[in-house]
Structure 1
Amino acid sequence: MAALIRHSVGLWASKLPLLRLPQRPSLSLLGTTTQHRLRTSTVPTFSRIIQRAYASSAHHDHDHDHGRHQQSKAPEEPYDQTEQILAFGSFLVFGSIFTYLSWTPVKAGSSQPYKLLPREDRPLRTTESAALASSSSSNADETQSPGEPSPAITTITAEPPLPEGETRPLAGYYKYVLVGAGTASYHALRAIKSSDPQAEILVIGHEEVPPYSRPQLSKEMWQSPSSTTFRNASGQEVSVFYKDRGAYAIVESDPESGEMVYKCPPASAGRVPPPILLLGHRVTKLDIEKQQITLDTDRVVQYGKVLLATGGTPRELPLVRDLPPHLRAQTSTFRTLADYEALEKESRVARQIVVIGGGFLGSELACTLAQRTSSPSPPLTTTTGASPSGPGKPHRLQVTQVLSGSTVLNRVLPRYLSRWTTEQIADLGVDVLRHKEITRISETESLHGPGSTPKLSIEFKDGAVVEADHIVQAIGIDPDVALARQAGLEIDAGRGGGIVVNAELEARRNVYVAGDAASYYDTLLGRRRLEHYDNAAQMGHLAGKNMAGESNPYTHQPLFWSDLGPAISFEAVGKVDARMPTASVWARDEPTPAPATEALTEDYKRGIVFYLEDNHIVGMVVWNLPGKIELARQVVLRGEFKYKHVQGLTRMFNIHQVEPKREPEA
């Protein structure tokens, strides 16, 4: 059948007068633009096939001319009408077959064909990769200096997917290396895989667990009997991990050779290369010129593109850092899953816990700790599977929150709302200490638990003293820029020390930054550095897309949210700063004002706070209005609404009729 097709096509091409092509078509007949495409195209298009069939490309002209002159020219035979008819019939029959076999497939339920990716973006088959790697290596040797990675080789020689259970050593080169294993890194990983599914990606994290979501550590996690799950708004039990360990190829040290190796997990066996996860390690050096990183084991890994998603390091009070080790062990910061597990365990036996800080984290922890004292704590299951403290016993936990100012969240909320929020936290049972400056921390004669370590004494500048079994420091983070500074990247000292990136989140060629450590330029609000989940997730996604070949600017307006007890849940978007002028609209349970003789008690149940800059709305807080934050985001993104539009915008949010929160199932 194949021979018949070839014979018929040959007859059609050579005998049909109306469609006949010359044996060596001249490029001049095709026009200048087409000539250039034929000579430079690397894609096997129909024009390319003409080149190969007739050897008419420029670098083949001489060879074929020489061969043709060697042969004697036979006189051309006259056309036979029978052959013409046969050729035309073959064209009608087999042309339909060719059209059917080469028809572009269409997705089920769609009228649009699959989009054919550009040649360089399509994943290579194993045989195709090997062939191109062979040809590229010979060319690279002529143009590249010794020791310099060849982009032509490294982008196409990805190793084939591992069979399940097969062990492979950690390679010396990866197309993508992600430094950090948090939210930004995870979303970058997903974005890269969606654009470049066959790429091998190395993710390096200093924690011993896979990427997970942090916001729940100070909120929902405290209501769960497990340290790795929580109940979402629908009452479903959800893991704090984005994916379990089985979705990754975890790098481990080989017990015999000591070499770093990994196995293909069952979830990805025989399909695409799984993300390679190196846990419990840090990157100590970044060489931008050589495109390589150095691990804390002195191992060097080269990269095609690298993402710095290093996050931040919790701040500590100098007084705490100077404590003796046995007293410093009774203090902690709060950032990681291990920090949560340690504090959760401590809260089961402690009688007095002091939280230092009046920001989001400090206020959330104070509320969470105070709420759990009213009932026995469920037994905790840690990431190691152990239950260190057994079933919780009901006991009175005294929670103290120490503020340097007069109110909580005083850098974000207007003064009146910050003051009211502080009162609500106090109503939960938190002892709020205002305008306090710590001057000394020491041990007391009181014991923390039966026969255990001494309690801590915290002395303040005004002479007040409080005791604590444990101190939690929630006074912010410093962006982790040590690696970037060592590599010579620009650090933005004016905004908390973030790593300066352009609109595409690129700090230098092939070096991207996302998350808490990134100082980026917001086209609407200017240069910013944010420490919120939504910002990390969106930046990671865009950085991953750009690493995989796109070039899109970061225009997202990130949101953040906080839950403070059962009565307060708010979300914010845009530029929200307590120093800015604001306009607020609040819903009242009773539309009729109280008589002038009665004192008005403020109760901010539902409302909106508009933040103004040059009379324009640049930020919003939606207070106890679930499902309205996306509308607020669009208002800020428009950038054209002013103070005079506040009343009209408020009607869009319908603050008097709000869908109730769906309570978690018991």
Structure 2
Amino acid sequence: MLQQLAGRLLTQRWALRPTSSIQPTHRAVRSAYTYRWTTPNQRVTQTLRRYSSTSSGQSEHKVPPFDQTEQVVSFASFLLFGGTFLYMTWRPSPVRGDAGNDSTPTLDSLSRTASLADSHTQESLPEAPLTSLLNQPLTGEVLPLAEYYPYVLVGGGTASYHAIRAIKEHDPEAEILIIGDEPLPPYSRPPLSKEMWFTQDQAKRRALRFTDWQGREQPLWYHDISAYRLVRTHPDHGTALVYSAQQTTKAPLLLAEHRVTDLDVEKQIVRLDNQQVVRYGKILLATGGTPRELELAEDLPENLREQVTTFRDVRDYQRLETTADRAKHIVVVGGGLLGSELAYALAAGRKLRVTQVLPETNVLHNLLPRYLAEWTTQLLTKGGVKVVTQQSVTNIRAATPGSQPESADSRQLRVELSNGDVVEADHVVQAVGIEPNVTLAKRAGLETDTTHGGIVVNAELEARRNVYVAGDVASFHDVLLGRRRVEHYDHAAQSGYLAGKNMCGARDAYTHQPMFWSDLGPNVTFDAVGVIDASLHTASVWAKPAESEGSTHSEEYGQGLVYYLRDSRIVGMVVWNLPGRIELARQVVLRGEFRYKHVQGLTRMFNIHQLETSSSA
């Protein structure tokens, strides 16, 4: 029974993703593992030794590496109970042509899906300045914005979009008002640093469309503007906010390019930036974050400010896209996920000279064990990125003092580094993290998290009576891992959906373990779940290449697993070049009881020696 169940889970539950690095063909079964045990900020490399942490290969850990009796019991228990739970509760991802975005966001459907465009989405957003998209003529009867709405969503991103889905599912007649500061309906951000740069058709990119990993053309937005009732000012109606009554009656109202300036949680009212007041029944704060900037960037003269930008939303993407068409050399500041993805995308996707500057010793320094971060840095270098480590930007000035910008080809900027080196470039992109937007919450007297940042919520994602929080700005308590704040797409979608559901009367706790993914070249594509922190102990298992697959004189990290350990307990996992395995990794973390000594048995479940073929291969 266990064997049948395990086989069913491995062959049916996870459809594999073909990538540039993992072709949908059978690989030769490899005969050995490469094991690694790393301590924080320490590299230990001993091939074909099981988790030793000394050069002699002797383990210094008091716990025996593998207690075979307990391993077998734990392994069987996990297969039986965890597998049975997955099999009984799993629902297939919706067929794109049937349900699209109107289905509940199951774990599988959100795992590596940055675009969830509905099959009925109108795919006709014009190639025009974003602001003009909101200036469509009002037709028929025009109504003013009401004084009260049962559901008000502050923020127009992924969390709010999935909250709308949940509300409409549980309260189909609901009137929903979305207030966002961008000139677009809710859209997916991950493609802005990934697929958009590798979409070859310029017309598609300018229309905010991209080709996904399955070769399908996708729009960036979830539903286009026609799916919303647009609220805006109109010359014929003075300064009043109005909308057309001819649009779909029960469609959500979208008030774009506006902000909420004040929130009164006792009176349940919000004040808009035009001073209009709206009462609410339930409110969702999904305000996301604001990109951090280098301190020196704030003091730059106006003519240089346009060439030293941050990267967060569609407008930032469009500015950088325009710059990339003219530029020859771009500097990316930051060694995290966003900075590394952008650096690789600009170098490999747009064939530009790219210099990546970071204060750490390697890219992804805070996420990956040191040996793996070093290897990833080397791969980025081979991909055309000049990675400058352990340096910071100390000054940015015009290449010729007093010169005015004319064209990006004139190398206008001199970027000075802390070691005295100077890099001449056309543009600088800052990718140094975000600050959660908590200003509104602080004014309203809501509790904020001084350690992790964000707005403190309970298990139901509620910050105060009738006030819910989701996405990047939510500081929530994870029963297994403690208080956390997560800045990833999967968390925004899942927390937004649960918040919307609870706004309709449910009292469900947020127990989801968010995942994230990254693609950093033809040999680096990984998924991660749980606490991914390089300061933790890690245990890694790698499939050793067969003799015929390459030289044995250099380390190669093809397919493998990295386990993150806190007090010897597995609290996070990175699944490296193994598409389709992240849900199994999520269940390992969710169990909360697997330890270092179980690693070998768990690894067998991931079948890292052999990649299955998809049904279409």
Q: Shorter-normalised TM-score: what interval? A: 0.7 to 0.9
Taking structure 1 as reference, are residues 168 and 450 closer, same or farther at Cα in structure 2, changes over 3 Å only?
A: closer
SS of the residue 2:280 aligns to: strand
Taking structure 1 as reference, are residues 424 and 663 closer, same or farther at Cα in structure 2, changes over 3 Å only?
A: farther
Taking structure 1 as reference, are residues 452 and 361 closer, same or farther at Cα in structure 2, changes over 3 Å only?
A: closer
* Residue from 194, 198, 206 that aligns with 2:181: 206
Q: Which residue of 1 aligns with 2:438?
A: 481
Q: Which residue of 1 aligns with 2:229?
A: 249
Q: Which residue of 2 aligns with 1:444?
A: 399
SS of the residue 1:256 aligns to: helix
Alignment of 1:259-338 (within 5 A): 259-264=240-245, 268=248, 273-338=250-315
Residue 289 (structure 1) shift = 0.9
Q: Which residue of 1 aligns with 2:349?
A: 372
CA deviation digits over 1:61-89, x for unaligned, max 9? xxxxxxxxxxxxxxxxxxxxxxxxxxxxx
* Residue from 503, 512, 516 that aligns with 2:459: 503
Sequence identity, in percent? 58
CA deviation digits over 1:84-115, x for unaligned, max 9? xxxxxxxxxxxxxxxxxxxxxxxxxxxxxxxx
SS of the residue 2:545 aligns to: coil
Q: Is the 8 A contact 2:559 2:578 kept in 1?
A: yes
Q: Is the 8 A contact 2:327 2:408 kept in 1?
A: no
CA deviation digits over 1:501-548, x for unaligned, max 9? 000000000001001011000001000001000001100000000000
> Which consecutive residues of structure 1, in runs of 5 or more, have no partner in the other structure?
1-162, 375-396
SS of the residue 1:188 aligns to: helix
Q: Is the 8 A contact 1:235 1:663 kept in 2?
A: no
* Residue from 533, 537, 541 that aligns with 2:489: 533
Q: Which residue of 2 aligns with 1:572?
A: 528
Matches of 2:465 and 2:407, distance apart in 1: 59
Q: Which residue of 2 aligns with 1:458?
A: 415
Q: Which residue of 1 aligns with 2:52?
A: none
Residue 447 (structure 1) shift = 8.4
Q: Is the 8 A contact 1:234 1:663 kept in 2?
A: no
Matches of 2:460 and 2:390, distance apart in 1: 42
* Residue from 372, 387, 397 that aligns with 1:417: 372
Q: Which residue of 1 aligns with 2:77?
A: none
Matches of 1:326 and 1:525, distance apart in 2: 47
Taking structure 1 as reference, are residues 247 and 535 closer, same or farther at Cα in structure 2, changes over 3 Å only?
A: same
Q: Is the 8 A contact 1:350 1:449 kept in 2?
A: no
Matches of 1:292 and 1:251, distance apart in 2: 18
Whether 1:403 aligns to 2:358 is yes
Taking structure 1 as reference, are residues 453 and 297 closer, same or farther at Cα in structure 2, changes over 3 Å only?
A: farther
Residue 658 (structure 1) shift = 1.4
* Residue from 407, 428, 431 that aligns with 2:386: 431
Q: Which amino acid aligns with 1:557?
A: Q
Q: Which residue of 2 aligns with 1:583?
A: 539
Taking structure 1 as reference, are residues 180 and 650 closer, same or farther at Cα in structure 2, changes over 3 Å only?
A: same
Taking structure 1 as reference, are residues 450 and 363 closer, same or farther at Cα in structure 2, changes over 3 Å only?
A: closer
CA deviation digits over 1:418-444, x for unaligned, max 9? 000000000011111111022211111
Residue 615 (structure 1) shift = 1.1
SS of the residue 1:370 aligns to: helix
CA deviation digits over 1:333-388, x for unaligned, max 9? 000111111101101111110000000000000000001244xxxxxxxxxxxxxx
Paired residues, number = 472
Q: Is the 8 A contact 1:203 1:275 kept in 2?
A: yes
CA RMSD of aligned residues (A): 2.2
Q: Which residue of 2 aligns with 1:378?
A: none
CA deviation digits over 1:100-156, x for unaligned, max 9? xxxxxxxxxxxxxxxxxxxxxxxxxxxxxxxxxxxxxxxxxxxxxxxxxxxxxxxxx
Q: Which residue of 1 aligns with 2:210?
A: 230
Alignment of 1:85-124 (within 5 A): none
Taking structure 1 as reference, are residues 451 and 603 closer, same or farther at Cα in structure 2, changes over 3 Å only?
A: closer
Q: Which residue of 2 aligns with 1:102?
A: none
Residue 164 (structure 1) shift = 9.0
SS of the residue 1:494 aligns to: coil
Taking structure 1 as reference, are residues 609 and 293 closer, same or farther at Cα in structure 2, changes over 3 Å only?
A: same
Q: Which residue of 1 aligns with 2:43?
A: none
Q: Is the 8 A contact 2:327 2:409 kept in 1?
A: no
Whether 1:345 aligns to 2:300 is no
* Residue from 556, 561, 568 that aligns with 1:608: 561
SS of the residue 1:493 aligns to: coil
Q: Is the 8 A contact 2:324 2:350 kept in 1?
A: no
Q: Is the 8 A contact 1:216 1:240 kept in 2?
A: yes
SS of the residue 1:521 aligns to: strand
Q: Is the 8 A contact 2:166 2:497 kept in 1?
A: yes
Matches of 2:325 and 2:378, distance apart in 1: 26
Task: Between 166-175 and 465-474, report the one with greater CA deviation.
Answer: 166-175
Q: Which residue of 2 aligns with 1:14?
A: none
